[in-house]
Amino acid sequence: MAASPVKAVLDTSVYLPFLRHGGEIDDLTFLRRPTLLYLSNVVFAELYAGARDRSTIRLLDQFYRAFDRSNRVIAPDQQVWLETAHVLQRFGTRYGFEATGLIRLSHDILIALTARKIGAIVFTRNREDFERIREVRNFQLEIYEESTAKRN
């Protein structure tokens, strides 16, 4: 009997090296098999905001359309936004509202909690921020490192 697919969401930090170095964005051999890959619209917005030329914009537009056609674009809903506000408040209380970079963390929290809602694993290179988020709200997390990519 075939294994059930694992749901995965890649953080912006995983996609960036592929985009910056001209790698194939679908070269994701580090993922478990079988995997259903989902695109967070928060991640897409971060990638698109950093696009520096027309060819990258075209690539990202094609990338988005492929996920959209497969009904695998996920977005934070009202519940996720509310839970994100609670997490941000706890971080502010625990670490100080000025020192934590709450605005920067808000995107990562939205990604983590949206992935959690669909039962997906978040893959990231951003160990520190995502592990801090897990201190407050549990979700499935894998840190993408070169050793992770080589194990499969």
Q: What is the pTM of this model?
A: 0.88
Q: Judge whether 1 lies within some domain.
A: no
Q: What is the largest CA-CA distance in the chain?
A: 52
* CATH code for the domain of 74: 3.40.50.1010
119 or 35: which carries more pLDDT confidence? 119
Return d(Cα 105, Cα 111) in angstroms, integer: 10
For residue 31, tell me if it sits in a domain: yes
Average confidence score pLDDT of the chain: 86
- In this predicted structure, the answer to whether residue 80 has a pLDDT above a threshold of 90 is yes
Residue 99 forms part of a structural domain: yes
Beta strands in the chain (DSSP E): 6-10, 35-40, 73-74, 121-124, 141-143
Q: What is the pLDDT of residues 45-78, one digit of tens each?
A: 999 998 888 988 998 999 899 999 999 999 999 9
**Would you say residue 45 lies in a domain?**
yes
Please give the Cα distance from 122 to 130 (Å, whole number): 9
In a domain, 42, yes or no: yes
Q: How many CA atoms lie within 13 A of 7 on its CB side?
A: 16
Q: Is 51 domain-assigned?
A: yes
| pLDDT at position 151 | 43
Strand partners, 37: 8
pLDDT in tens, 85-94: 999 999 888 8
The answer, yes or no, to whether residue 19 has pLDDT greater than 90, is no
Enclosing domain of residue 88: 6-151
Q: How many domains does the chain have?
A: 1
